[in-house]
Structures are given as C-alpha cells and as structure tokens.
Amino acid sequence: MAIKIVCLPGDGIGPEVTQSTIAVLKAVGEKFRIEFDIAEYPIGGIAIEQSGTPLPDQTLAACKEADAVFLGAIGGPQWENPEASVRPEQGLLKLRSELGVFSNIRPLKVFPSLISSSPLKPERLAGVDFVVVRELTGGIYFGERTRQDDYATDECRYSVGEVERIARVACEMAMQRNKRVTSVDKANVLETSRLWREVVTRVVKNEFPEINLEHQLVDSCAMKLIQQPAHFDVILTENMFGDILSDEASVLSGSMGLLASASIGDGVGLFEPIHGSAPDIAGLGIANPYASILSAAMMLRWLNLELAAKAVEDAVLDAIDNGTLTRDLTISNSMREASTKEATQAVLEAI
C-alpha cells in the first residue's frame, strides 16, 4: 500500500527545497520499491494569499490523514506588517499544536569534510555530536497574548505533564546515546523554569537513574555551545530556548541549511528543516536543499524505512564529500558554488 505523505512547500525557499526532497523521495522509493503518494497543500503566506488563512481546513485535514507530513518553510517580508492580524507563522504553530507534535528533535553533527565551512577552530569541533530536544507545543509560544497601546504581554506557561513527557523523550534518546542530558532553563529568574527543573530531576531520578543529568542556565549554555560544543549529548529545553539554541548550534556544522528536524507526538509526525524561508536568497536557485532532504531521511526512519533513510543520509554525505556545496557552505571565492538543482542531482546520483 502506498505511503501517504503530505508536502507543505510554503514560502520563500520552501518550494525550492521541497521540490528537491520530493525528487529524492521518488528516487529512493524506486530503489527500495516503496510507493509514496505525495500530495502538496498550501500553508503560510501563500495560503493567506489564496484563502485568507495560513492553515486552510483542507490542509489540516490532509495532514491529519497522512502517514507523515513534511514542510519546507513559511513566512517572508510580505507578511511582516506589525499591524497584520493574520501571519504565516500562525499556520505552522497551529499545525504543530493540532498534530500534537510536542517534541522537536534537532540533531547536530559536524561533517568532517565541512570543518573548514564552520567559523569555529577545527579542534573545537572534534567529537561534536548532539541532539537538541525542544519542547514544541507549549511555553511562551502558546500562552495568552495581550496588546494595549502602551504595553503588550506574552504568557509563558508549562504544566507538569508537558514537562514530564518531553523529559521522557530526551531521556529515552539519551539511553540510546551517551546517557547524558543537559536540561537548559532560566531557573534563576523564571517560575516555569523552576518547575521545569524540578520535574526533569524527578523524571530522571525515578525513571532513568542511569542518566547523568546536569542543569544549565540558558545564557551560559549559549556560550558553552561555542566554547565547548563536544561537551553535549542530549540538550533538553523548552520551546523558545530550543528555537534559539538550535540556530546557534547550526553554525557549528557550517550552515543552517544542513539542520534537519523531526516533530513528533502521539500521532502523525511532521518533518521540517530548522531554517526559515530565507527571503534574501529565495528565487535565486541557490538554497541548500540538504536540511530538507535530511528531514525526509528522519521521516523515513520514523516510518520504519531504515534502509531508505540510511540511503538518503549516505547520499547527502556523498554529495557533501564530493564538494557539491551551495553558497552557504563555500567559504572562499575559489570554491565552486553548486545550485540547488546541482546539489539535488548529486544526491540523486549517489542514490
């Protein structure tokens, strides 16, 4: 039976990178005789243009019925008017919430052949391999908002249950890795962080006694990510801290255009590169498609298609090792810049 996949290209470079990803899925499907039924639906700015809403009912319904969903990116300057009440980002947040994908897994690896693409010294990058486990459907992103002429508020709220379930995800992941969890909060200031710390400590003590847990404040964690990145194994954190720290962490690998993610809950999974719609390069055909393709590999693994997932990851690695690099990864003018199409072609050939 065909595997039903919903693709949400979105805005900016979203359609460019999802087009590459669909080509890769088709190729890997042929190789392993897996039938994918891929349907595209609008989300974000383009959906606002078409129907006045960033997450049309048909899009949401299709996502809920799919086996898996993958997203390009949403947003852009056209929809950034501060007065606007309808925004592309609301579509993505509502989708995450409706699908109940409370854990966002963002793995960070340093590809050996890309060490020179990173601004960090090579010796700091040795042994860097960690995962950010970001809580995705709670916190300040989903609290009540108010706006008056002279002030505004955003409520940050976490329940014990929300912290417990994401702590378990991080711990289960750590058990498959090096059994180290760094829980990141701002417990010296925030009440939600004090609750977070208490709950994480209890979950580890009662359910994962083998895990070596440390707590770290988010500000010094931001520093340590650059100073001593090899220290980390699993970073467990709340929604907004995870958003910020993972973009920071992407610099270690050389580009945001390499970082994939999986957003998982109890139902259908959503797979999304961590980057946005990159309005500064949209339409130029130079976006890095590897983050989106690697997100599809995470999707294949989640669908229990391990061989296909591995084939896609190996193909991206091959393309990188062959030096097929988009502009975000070429560090000197003497390096040849590949287009999105050429990078995709290199992956297809490796498959």
DSSP letter string, 92-117: HHHHHHHHT--EEEEEEE--GGGGGG
245 secondary structure, DSSP code = H
342 is a site residue for ligand NAD (CB under 6 A): no
Q: Output the smallest distance, CB 242 to Mn ion, in A.
A: 9
Give the nearer residue to ligand NAD in terms of CB position, either 51 or 330.
330
Per the CB < 8 A criterion, the answer to whether 298 and 290 are in contact is no
Give the nearer residue to ligand NAD in terms of CB position, either 51 or 339.
339
313 is a site residue for ligand NAD (CB under 6 A): no
Give the nearer residue to ligand IPM in terms of CB position, either 11 or 208.
11
Q: Output the smallest distance, CB 302 to ligand NAD, in A.
A: 18
Q: Which of 247, 314, 318, 321 is flagged as catalytic?
A: 247
Give the nearer residue to ligand NAD in terms of CB position, either 216 or 255.
255
Burial of 136: CB neighbours in 10 Å, binned 0-12, 13-18, 19+ = buried
HSE-up of 145 (CA within 13 Å, CB side)?
6
Per the annotation, the verdict on 154 as an active-site residue is no
- Please list every residue from 39 through 98 that binds ligand NAD, using CB under 6 A: 73-76, 89, 92
The residue within the footprint of ligand NAD, chosen from 269, 276, 303, 308 (CB under 6 A), is 276
- Report what 279 binds from ligand IPM, Mn ion, ligand NAD, none; CB cut-off 5-8 Å by kind: ligand NAD
d(CA 6, CA 40): 6
The residue within the footprint of ligand NAD, chosen from 277, 295, 324, 344 (CB under 6 A), is 277
The one segment of 115-123, 178-186, 278-286, 314-322 that binds ligand NAD by CB under 6 A: 278-286
Q: What is the maximum span of the chain, computed from C-alpha positions, in angstroms?
A: 60
d(CA 96, CA 92): 6
Per the annotation, the verdict on 41 as an active-site residue is no
Per the annotation, the verdict on 247 as an active-site residue is yes
Q: Is 11 annotated as a binding residue?
A: no
Per the annotation, the verdict on 314 as an active-site residue is no
d(CA 65, CA 79): 29
Per the CB < 8 A criterion, the answer to whether 119 and 287 are in contact is no
- Report what 277 binds from ligand IPM, Mn ion, ligand NAD, none; CB cut-off 5-8 Å by kind: ligand NAD
Q: Output the smallest distance, CB 8 to ligand IPM, in A.
A: 13
Q: Is 286 annotated as a binding residue?
A: yes
Per the annotation, the verdict on 243 as an active-site residue is yes
Q: Is 323 annotated as a binding residue?
A: no
Q: Give the torsion through C-alpha atoms of 129, 225, 257, 93, to 10 deg.
A: 100
d(CA 113, CA 129): 15
Q: Which two tokens stand for residue 245?
A: 């720290």
Please report, for residues 106, 186, 190, 228, the alpha-carbon distance to residue 170 in angstroms, rounded to integers and kept in the order given.
Answer: 11, 18, 22, 21
Strands in 212-302 per DSSP E: 212-217, 234-237, 262-264, 269-271
- Report what 237 binds from ligand NAD, ligand IPM, Mn ion, none; CB cut-off 5-8 Å by kind: none
Q: Is 309 annotated as a binding residue?
A: no
Q: Is 276 annotated as a binding residue?
A: yes
CB-CB neighbours of 38 under 10 Å: 18
Binding interface with ligand NAD (CB under 6 A): 13, 17, 73-76, 89, 92, 256-257, 272, 275-281, 287-288, 291, 326, 328
Cite the annotated binding site for Mg(2+) by residue number.
219, 243, 247
Residues labelled catalytic: 141, 186, 219, 243, 247
Binding interface with Mn ion (CB under 5 A): 243
